[in-house]
Amino acid sequence: MDRGKLLTESRNPNSMNIDSASSLEIAKIINEEDKLVPLAIEKELENIAKAIDLVVETFENGGRLFYVGAGTSGRLGVLDASECPPTFGVERELVQGIIAGGEKALTRSIEGAEDFEKDGAKAILGKNVSAKDTIFGIAAGSTTPYVLGALKKGKKLGCKTIFFSCNSEAKNLVSVDVYILPQVGPEVVTGSTRMKAGTATKLVLNSVTTGTMIKIGKVYENLMVDLKPLNVKLVDRSNRILRQALSIEADEAKNLIATSKGNLKIAILIKKLGIGFTEAKELLSDYRGNVRVILQQKL
């Protein structure tokens, strides 16, 4: 493939003279280009919604989500996956990031690791993927063999598949269930997809996992009621969440956290329904942990 024809590899006319610009002018040029990213994502919202629904179905059927990428794309996948357990209280195995080159590639460039489809296929086989799982390929430029190999192997295994790229040519390279293809345009520094394409990647991955977690009941109103209070900041946030959700004072919130053994969902149900720990726990089990649905049924 002539990669020079890809949108992400083309030259940006707005930054042709950036090497002679002042520091403030450079910052302004970058900022103006960055403003285009959410507008490009806006055009992909229906596909993002499809991806959310697909991952919800995956989780409800006992499956997992695997991000697969190389370089910046791989690092952003690993980042999003690693943030799900502390934010939403899910098991670490539920959302996983796979990066070409392995853990070493998280902190240093291992560019050659992305060049072979067979290695991407091997990587997901090493995770014992099945038809229950979803493979989410991330390749800003669309052509990364490692990512394409993982998606093709996933498709053969019956997995659900999603492909994120900032090039529309992605549709010609591999068949998947959902394409998310925001056209953010040429980068300020030609081909540096760590910039606008990287920003778009971060925004889309956050939207997919956050939207999925909301749909499976990990959020009540707009509060992260399944977080694990494992450090001082999160203990403080847990107290604040209960105060906001229940309109109570800090001391009562502290007592509720103790009564509910640190489970904020149980604490909310105890307070709002006037029930005990055991009954609240059983309700959560019966309603798949969805506090809003429980309260709609019981209040």
pLDDT digits (tens, 9 = 90+) for 243-260: 999 999 999 999 999 999
Q: d(Cα 221, Cα 66) in Å, to the nearest integer?
A: 27
Residues 166 and 252 in one domain: no
Is 60 marked active-site?
Answer: no
pLDDT score at 1: 62
pLDDT > 90: percent of the chain: 87
**Domain-embedded: residue 113:** yes
Query: Of the residues 9, 83, 169, 279, which is catalytic?
Result: 83
Residues 44 and 172 in one domain: yes
- Token pair, residue 249, equals 């004072």
Strand partners, 135: 66, 161
Identify the domain boundary among 215, 245, 262. 215
Residues 266 and 193 in one domain: no
Residues 95 and 34 in one domain: yes
Query: Of the residues 9, 46, 93, 114, which is catalytic?
Result: 114
pLDDT score at 91: 94
For residue 236, give its domain range: 232-298
Q: d(Cα 135, Cα 74) in Å, to the nearest integer?
A: 13
CB within 8 Å of 244: residues ≥ 6 apart = 223
pLDDT tens readout for residues 93-121: 999 999 999 998 988 887 778 889 999 99
Sheet with 134-138, strands from edge to edge, namely 95-99, 65-69, 134-138, 160-164, 178-180
Residues 56 and 158 in one domain: yes
Is 114 marked active-site?
Answer: yes
